[in-house]
Amino acid sequence: MTRAHPEDVPRSALILAGTLVAFAFTLTAGMRIAHVAPAASPALLRSAEHIAPVRSRDLRFVDQADRGVRIEDVGTGRTASVIVPGQQTGFIRGVMRGLARERRMRGIGSAPAFTLTRWQDGELTLTDTATGRSIELNAFGTTNRAAFAALLDEPEAAR
């Protein structure tokens, strides 16, 4: 006599999971056989279409502990902006934390600059010059994109 245990998975769920896996493999194989090219990265598309940068700025982000983050224009050495704790620029801090984590894992300090670029097609990218990683900022929505775009549009603070 067989007894059902509470940890047994229903047969219908196993069949459904198997069907889903088979469908994924079939779809992947079909795309490979049909030679459907994967979507190109925005950087490759800009290069292929000869889209030039409109404005670019090299920035360094300096953590000032409790006083926030000072954003320095590398070309002039002046402060471009200061992000104080509690300000509505948490997106910038979040992006920079991720990039800083990657640099720490690679043993790279905070000295190399980040390049913020606005392109002719309206796209906005932030590129880590030390790792080569590039973030397409338009993908995060207009409000978050505007936080970085303001760094290109702001006149430099005289500090």
**Contact status, residue 45 vs residue 35, Cβ threshold 8 Å:** no
Q: Which of 1-5, 15-19, 69-73, 84-88 has the weakest average pLDDT?
A: 1-5
How large is the average pLDDT for residues 126-154?
A: 88
SS (H, E, C) 124-137: EEEEECCCCCEEEH
Give 81-125 pLDDT, tens digit per residue.
888 776 656 788 888 888 989 998 999 888 899 999 999 988 999
Encoded tokens for 78 = 């002046």
pLDDT for residue 5? 61
CA distance 51 to 47: 6
For 64, phi then psi, to 5°, come to: -115, 35
pLDDT for residue 12? 92
Predicted TM-score (pTM) of the model is: 0.68
Residue 52 has pLDDT above 50, yes or no: yes
